[in-house]
Amino acid sequence: MFISDNVSWILLGIPVGIAFLYFGSEWMVGGAKKMAVRLGVTPFIIGLTVVALGSSAPEVVTVLVSGNNPQIILGNIVGSNIANVGLAIGLAALISPVFCKFSEIKFEIISMLAATFVITLMALTGSLGFAEGIVLVSALVVFIYLAYKFKRGVAAEEGEPKHVSGNGDVRKEGMYKFVLMIAAGIILLYFGARAFIDGAVELAGMLGVSDLMVGLIVVAVGASLPELCICIVAAYRKENELVVSNIVGSIVFNSFFALGVGVIYTTVSVSHYTMVFHLPVMVLMSVLMAYMIKRDDNVSRTEGLFLLLVYAAYIGLMFVFPALTQGAI
């Protein structure tokens, strides 16, 4: 009966959690994006901050409800950052080559690389706690300020309209509608994260795998669904600016905000294999994406396939060598 109950909860909790996370993110992103349009914010800033924050919300909420399973916190962030490049950018590039001028997003790319390098260097101490959390959250504030300052300056020089095309009617709608959408999205995100994490923990217990492995694969991919969906839709519509800014922004928000908030109230130990395998893979994926964009101002279909193969190899190695996912130092 005990096993049956566990199986029932896993079969229900994980899919229900994913559905809630997805729709919660959709409502939150939709409301926040329309609110940004009303406030006169440029498209790239919407993708870099509002959409990135909204699509990173599952990681943030998942972190907040994983206090009793700190390895899921770390696995979720590292795994999500890897999946964002390997899966989201990889699949988006396969659908349509992602064109983006490196000269126009140099600051954002550098910020993404800095975010992954910073948490990797912090992890060398063997644990992440309150002090590291404060530094990470503070870094996010600096990033948002500088990004907004730079992009507002560019928009002013180029005369870029401070609205998103196709959203003219938004300016006529009441602001309360957007607030309600955001609130409903947050509620769904919370309950979705609770159901998803509880189901994932039970799954780990049944399969005899570590919380870190569940965080790196199951939780990370589930929480990355908003980024994945946004990138696929944007690639299909050839909205390349949104594809790149969404992923760059999400990695920065995951690293600085989601992880920062998580370790502020829960100290997370960093295992040996996390330091020598998972974190280096995360840095590698960010470097590959940055290199591809810097070299040709795009991520081609061939490069997208390569990113997907690297991600597949990463997942495969964890199953072939289970020791790589052990949370103990």
Per-residue pLDDT tens over the stretch 312-328: 999 999 888 888 887 54
Query: How many degrees, rounded to 5, is the angle at CA 55 between CA 53 and CA 59?
Result: 85
Residues 65-86 pLDDT 10s? 666 677 778 888 999 899 999 9
Task: Give residues with Cβ within 8 angstroms of 157, minimum separation 6.
Answer: none
> What are the φ/ψ torsions at residue 211 (nearest 5 degrees)?
-60, -35
Q: Which two tokens stand for residue 232?
A: 């696929």
Residue carrying structure tokens 């706690």? 129
Q: Rounded distance, CA 231 to CA 247, Å?
A: 8
Per-residue pLDDT, 295: 92
Write out residues in the chain with pLDDT < 50, as ranges: 1-4, 159-167, 328-329
Burial of 166 by CB count in 10 Å (0-12 exposed, 13-18 middle, 19+ buried)?
A: exposed
Q: Say how many CA atoms lie within 13 Å of 104 toward its Cβ.
A: 15
Q: Which two tokens stand for residue 216?
A: 């790196």
In degrees, rounded to 5, the angle at the alpha carbon of residue 248 between the alpha carbons of residues 84 and 149 is 160
Comparing C-alpha atoms, which of 244, 290, 292 is closest to residue 89?
Answer: 244
HEC assignment per residue over the chain? CHHHHHHHHHHHHHHHHHHHHHHHHHHHHHHHHHHHHHCCCCHHHHHHHHHHHHHCHHHHHHHHCCCCCHHHHHHHHHHHHHHHHHHHHHHHHHHCCEECCHHHCHHHHHHHHHHHHHHHHHHCCCEECHHHHHHHHHHHHHHHHHHHHHHHHHHHHHCCCCCCCCCHHHHHCCHHHHHHHHHHHHHHHHHHHHHHHHHHHHHHHHHCCCHHHHHHHHHHHHHCHHHHHHHHHHHHCCCHHHHHHHHHHHHHHHHHHHHHHHHHHCCEECCHHHHHHHHHHHHHHHHHHHHHHHHHCEECHHHHHHHHHHHHHHHHHHHHCHHHHCCCC
Please identify which residue in the block is written with the tokens 């644990």.
127
Task: Report CA Rg, the chain.
Answer: 19
Tally Cβ neighbours within 10 Å of residue 312.
13
Q: Specify the pTM.
A: 0.77
pLDDT at position 50 is: 64
Res 244: pLDDT: 82
d(CA 41, CA 163): 6
What's the confidence (pLDDT) of residue 270? 92
Domain 2-325, CATH class in plain words: mainly alpha
Residue 104, class by beta-carbon neighbours within 10 Å (0-12 exposed, 13-18 middle, 19+ buried)? middle
- Whether residue 256 contacts residue 140, with contact meaning beta carbons closer than 8 Å, is answered with yes
